[in-house]
């Protein structure tokens, strides 16, 4: 079951995931993923200077890659017009702000059928604003989950594991299991 929606207040913070990999030259490569509140980006897309869009501005400025999620369920629902406009506004803002950053467009819940005209309209708009972006389809109902694996490979693709299997060692920490350090 998903947790309740976090309220849209100024003290909201994104979820963070830090991964560190040791490459073939024995150097660490760090990856920090943020799961930022969508409202930050909604506010930022309509008003770049909005006070409640600080987090979106920070992520756009300091990130190396942007994952732009499109919820196919929303596009197939009653609010298709509003959703389509929100996607277009965000694509416009990203085009103005992200310069040479890598943008991955993730069509989530792609097992839900979209009106082909709606899909084409959005794809065309995204191509106009973010022509270098790569598109990926993901769904939790796919048997092989290739979409999620493909996105992960795209994000971590420059790592050289030399065919080795990644093993995560989880040391036991009695003080707080939620802050367990994990190393490769």
C-alpha pair distances (Å), 137 with each of 49, 87, 108: 32, 16, 6
Q: From CA 90, how far away is CA 85, in angstroms rounded?
A: 9
Task: Give the length of the chain.
Answer: 184
Q: pLDDT tens digits for the chain (184 residues)?
A: 444 555 556 666 777 888 888 777 888 888 888 888 888 899 999 999 998 898 899 999 988 899 999 999 999 999 999 999 999 999 999 999 888 889 999 999 988 989 999 999 999 999 999 999 999 998 877 554 567 778 878 887 766 555 555 554 545 555 555 555 444 4
Q: From CA 92, how far away is CA 131, in angstroms rounded?
A: 12
C-alpha pair distances (Å), 172 with each of 72, 134, 166, 176, 182: 40, 40, 19, 9, 10
Q: What is the pTM of this model?
A: 0.76
Q: From CA 94, how far away is CA 100, in angstroms rounded?
A: 11
Domains and CATH numbers, the chain: 15-179 (3.40.50)
């Amino acid at each position: 079951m998903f947790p309740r929606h976090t309220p849209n207040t100024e003290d909201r913070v994104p979820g963070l995931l830090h991964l560190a990999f040791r490459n073939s030259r024995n150097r660490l490569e760090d990856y920090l993923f943020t799961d930022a509140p969508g409202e930050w980006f909604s506010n930022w897309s309509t008003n770049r200077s909005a006070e409640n869009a600080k987090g979106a501005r920070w992520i756009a400025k300091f990130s190396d890659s942007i994952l732009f999620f499109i919820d196919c369920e929303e596009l197939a629902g009653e609010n298709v017009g509003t959703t389509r406009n929100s996607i277009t506004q965000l694509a416009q803002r990203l085009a103005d702000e992200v310069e040479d950053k890598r943008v991955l467009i993730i069509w989530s819940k792609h097992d839900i059928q979209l009106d082909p005209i709606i899909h084409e309209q959005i794809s065309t708009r995204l191509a106009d604003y973010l022509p270098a972006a790569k598109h990926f389809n993901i769904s939790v109902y796919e048997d092989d989950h290739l979409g999620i694996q493909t996105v992960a490979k795209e994000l971590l693709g420059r790592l050289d594991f030399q065919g080795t299997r990644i093993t995560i060692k989880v040391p036991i920490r009695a003080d707080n299991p939620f802050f367990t350090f994990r190393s490769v």
